[in-house]
Structure 1
Amino acid sequence: MRVVPIRYTADVAASRRFYLALGLAEGARSRPGTWVELPAAEGMLALHSAKDVAPGTCELAFETDEPLEDVAERLRRAGFEPGPVLDESHGRSVRVRDPDGVWVQVNALDRDLYT
């Protein structure tokens, strides 16, 4: 599983330039420019447009090759109730609240769907 923090920003292009200058690599991006991925040696930063949340908000996401149904079942056995596995434009995902009530998203990405 790979950790993928999602950073919401008021200006995706400016934030992209900043994190590229910091040393992250160029990754996939949406055609309209509302999100971009910036791979690093051991993970990735995702920048998303902050149209529905405050700029500077961060969300924790993970990418996995494991079937999401298995992840969801393991969470249930541990006493956490994940939402349904959803088909989305980028692949499939499941969301669950951590012990502090913060949403965490786990993605099984299909790069052919969104790049």
Structure 2
Amino acid sequence: MRVLPIRYSSDVTALTRFYEALGLRVGPVSRPGGWIEMPAEGGVLGVHRASAEDAGRCELAFAADEPLETVSARLRTAGFEPGPVTDEAFGHSLRVQDPDGVWVQINLYDRDLYT
């Protein structure tokens, strides 16, 4: 599983230029351009188009390399209650609250669906 923080922005182009200047590179991009993955040595930064009210928000997410049903079962065994596995335009997703009540998103990407 890779760490994948998601940075929401109302100006994806400007934010992408900023992180390129920091040394990240552009990876997979969604066909409409509202999602850009920027691989780094220790993970990936997701840049996601958002409304002005959500601009600046950051969400902790992970890119799974195993079926989300497996992740969900492991969380339940450990005493946590993940939400359902949801079919998304990019693959599948599930959300779960950590012990502090912060939502964490786990995604299983199917790049054929969006790049």
- How far, CA to CA, are the matches of 2:113 and 2:106 in structure 1? 17
Identity of aligned residues (%): 64
Which 5+ residue runs of structure 2 have no aligned equivalent? none
Give CA-to-partner distance per residue, 1:48-91, whole Å, 9 cap, x none.
12217532110011011111111101111111100111111111
Distance 2:64 2:53 in 1: 25
Aligned residues: 115
2:86, 2:32 → 1: CA distance?
23
- The 3 A distance-change label for structure 1 pair 98 and 7 is same
The residue number in structure 1 matching 2:109 is 109
Structure 2 residue aligned with 1:50: 50
Alignment partners' CA distance in 1, 2:59 and 2:87: 19
Q: What is the rounded CA distance, in whole Å, between the counterparts of 1:104 and 1:112 in structure 2?
A: 24
- Residues 19, 28 of structure 1: CA spacing in aligned structure 2 closer, same or farther, 3 A cutoff? same
Match of 2:29 in 1: 29
Q: Distance in 2 between matches of 1:27 and 1:88?
A: 20
Cα offset, 1:31, TM superposition: 2.6
RMSD: 1.3
- Normalized against structure 1, the TM-score is what? 0.93
- TM-score of the pair, normalised by structure 2: 0.93
- Cα deviations across residues 7-29 of structure 1 (Å, max 9, x unaligned)? 01121100000101110011112
The ranges of structure 1 where at least 4 consecutive aligned residues each deviate by more than 2 angstroms after the TM superposition are 30-33
The 1:52/1:72 distance shift into structure 2, 3 A limit, reads farther
Given that 1:8 and 1:53 are in contact with CA atoms closer than 8 Å, whether structure 2 keeps it comes out as no
Q: Structure 1 stretches of 5 or more lacking a match?
A: none
